């Protein structure tokens, strides 16, 4: 069965793009355009991996991430940050969360994405989970 991947991004073009890329690589993409109702979506579809944007209106990706990692049932879902806001090297989530027990995200992918690299990254985490 195809792996379910949840895309959380406020930008419709990003959703379309990532969905198309994932679909053409035999993944099953789901999407939600805001962080506030993202948790419900997680509970509903139980994704194998989450692609998360950071800068979103109303609630940032970081707030969602914190909530996810505090939820025992879902904290093990791998999260890839897909953002144009920061380069991987400059970004340390520890500076943004109060709860120091929150682990850093599994991976960062900078926008605009390199499709091959993006797919390899996804594969790595999904396969890891399979093992």
Partner 1 sequence: MARNSSKIEKRTHDRRRLSDLVFHELFQQVPFNVAIIDRDYNIIMANDNFTEYFGDWKGKKCYAVYKKLSKPCAECPSEEVFSTGKAVAADAVGIDQQGRKTHYIGNVFPITEEKGGRVEYVMEMTRSIIETGRLQSEYQILFDRVPCYITVIGEDYRIVRANEAFRENFGDVLGQLCYTVYKRRKTKCPNCPAAKTFRDGKIHNSTQLGTGKRGQEINYAVSTSPLMRGRGSVAHVIEISNDITALRKLEQEVIEAERLGAVGQTVAGLAHSIKNILMGLEGGKYIVSLGLKKNDKEMINKGWDMLERNFEKTTSLVKDFLSFSKGRLPDLKMISPAKLAEEIVELYKDIAAQSGIELKMELDGKIKNAPLDPDGIHTCLTNLVSNAIDACLMGEQRGTEVVIKVSDAGGKLVFAVSDNGSGIDYEIKKKIFTTFFTTKGGAGTGLGLLTTRKIVQEHGGKIMVESEKGKGARFRMEFPRKRLMALYKS
- For partner 1, the closer of residues 44 and 114 by Cβ is 114
- For partner 1, the closer of residues 19 and 50 by Cβ is 19
The angle formed by the CA atoms of residues 27, 33 and 37, to the nearest 5 degrees, is: 100
Report, in Å, the least distance between residue 112 CB and partner 1.
Answer: 4
Which residues are at the interface with partner 1 (CB under 8 A)?
Answer: 9-11, 13-14, 16-18, 20-21, 24, 53, 55-58, 60, 84-85, 110-113, 115
Q: Is 117 left (phi over 0), alpha (psi -120 to 50) or beta?
A: alpha
The secondary structure of residue 53, as a DSSP letter, is: -
**Residue among 55, 110, 99, 108 at smallest CA distance from 78:** 108
Q: Tell me whether strands 49-52 and 4-8 are parallel, antiparallel or unpaired.
A: parallel
Report, in Å, the least distance between residue 65 CB and partner 1.
Answer: 15
Report, in Å, the least distance between residue 128 CB and partner 1.
Answer: 26
- For partner 1, the closer of residues 21 and 126 by Cβ is 21
């Amino acid at each position: 069965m195809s792996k379910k991947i949840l895309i959380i991004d406020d930008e419709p073009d990003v959703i379309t793009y990532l969905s198309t890329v994932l679909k053409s690589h035999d993944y099953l993409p789901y999407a939600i355009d805001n962080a506030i109702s993202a948790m419900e979506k997680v509970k509903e579809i139980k994704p194998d991996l989450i692609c998360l944007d950071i800068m979103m209106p109303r609630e940032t990706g970081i707030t969602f991430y914190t909530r996810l990692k505090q939820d025992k049932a879902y904290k093990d879902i791998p999260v890839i940050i897909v953002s144009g806001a920061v380069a991987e090297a400059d970004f340390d989530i520890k500076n943004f969360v109060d709860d120091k027990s929150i682990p850093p995200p599994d991976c960062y992918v900078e926008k605009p994405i390199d499709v091959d690299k993006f797919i390899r990254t996804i594969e790595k985490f999904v396969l890891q989970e399979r093992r």
